[in-house]
Amino acid sequence: MSAPAPVLLDAWRLAAGMLSAVPVTPPSRVDTRVAGAAMLLAPIGAWPVVLWWLGWGAFSLLIGAPALLSGAIAVTGVVLATRAMHLDGLADVADALSASYDRERALQVMKTGDVGPSGAAGIAIVLGLQVSGASYLAGSWHGIVLGALALLSSRWILSLGTARGIPSARPTGLGATFAGSVHPGAPVLSGMALGLLGGFALSITGGVWWQAPIIVCTAAVATALLVRRCVQRFGGITGDVLGAGIEISAASALVMAALLVA
C-alpha cells in the first residue's frame, strides 16, 4: 500500500476536484487537516474558472462583443467549468429553507436533490444577477479584473464558511468533513492577501486599489449572512450550503463590481 501524499498535495487535489471540471488525481486521504488546507487553497484551485474569465474577457474586448452577450457567455463558461455543481447546492438550500421550519424536514428536502420552485427561482435570480454584473464589467480591463477578483473572492469564502466554531448540520457527509477545519485567523489573513493582490492588479489596469477590498468584503458579508441563516435553520452547514455560498457571494461581488465601474 502506497504512502499518503503530503497534506498540501492532497489539499490541492481536493480543492481542484471540488471547484472545477478539470480531471485531477483524487487525494490519498481526506481528513480535517487536508480539508482545512483545501479550503484555504480554494481560490487557487479555481484556476480554470478564472483563466476562462480572463481569456474570454480579453477576446470579447478584442472583437467588440456586445456587453450583454459577453456577460452571458462569461457566466455560461463558469457554469460549465464547474459542472454546475455549486448551482445544485444553491437549489437544494433554497428548497430546504422554504420547505419547513422543522430542522429534520428541511435537511431531508435538501438531501433529496430534487429541484423545486424555490430552487429554480434561486438559480434564476442568482444567474440573472451574475450575468447582469458581468455585462457591466465586460467593456474594460478594469472591469474584467474586478470580475476575476469577484470570482476569486467567491471561492475564498469557503475558508470563512468552514472556520472553527461553525458546526456541521449533520454528523456525516461533506459538511461534517469540512466544518470547523479552518483556523479562524486564516481567512482573515488570506482575505487581506487577496485584497492586496487585487488592489495591485487594479492599479495597473486603470482601476483604483481600494475597490479590491470592497469586493472581498462584499463576498464575506454575503457568506456570513447565508451561514448565519443556515446555522439557525439547519443547525450548521452542509456541502450544499458551501456551494450556495459560492454562487451567492459571486453574484453579490459581481453586482458590487458593476456598481463600482458604472
> Could you read off the pLDDT of 202-230 as tens digits, one per residue?
999 888 999 999 999 999 999 999 999 99
Rounded to whole angstroms, the Cα distance separating 34 from 14 reads: 8
For the segment 92-102, the average pLDDT, to the nearest whole number, is: 89
Rounded to whole angstroms, the Cα distance separating 66 from 218 reads: 27
Rounded to whole angstroms, the Cα distance separating 150 from 253 reads: 5
State pTM to two decimals.
0.94
Domain ranges of the chain: 7-261
> Could you read off the pLDDT of 26-82 as tens digits, one per residue?
898 889 999 999 999 999 998 999 999 999 999 999 999 999 999 999 999 999 999
Rounded to whole angstroms, the Cα distance separating 223 from 45 reads: 19
Q: How many residues does this entry show for the chain?
A: 262
Count of C-beta atoms within a 10 Å radius of residue 75: 24
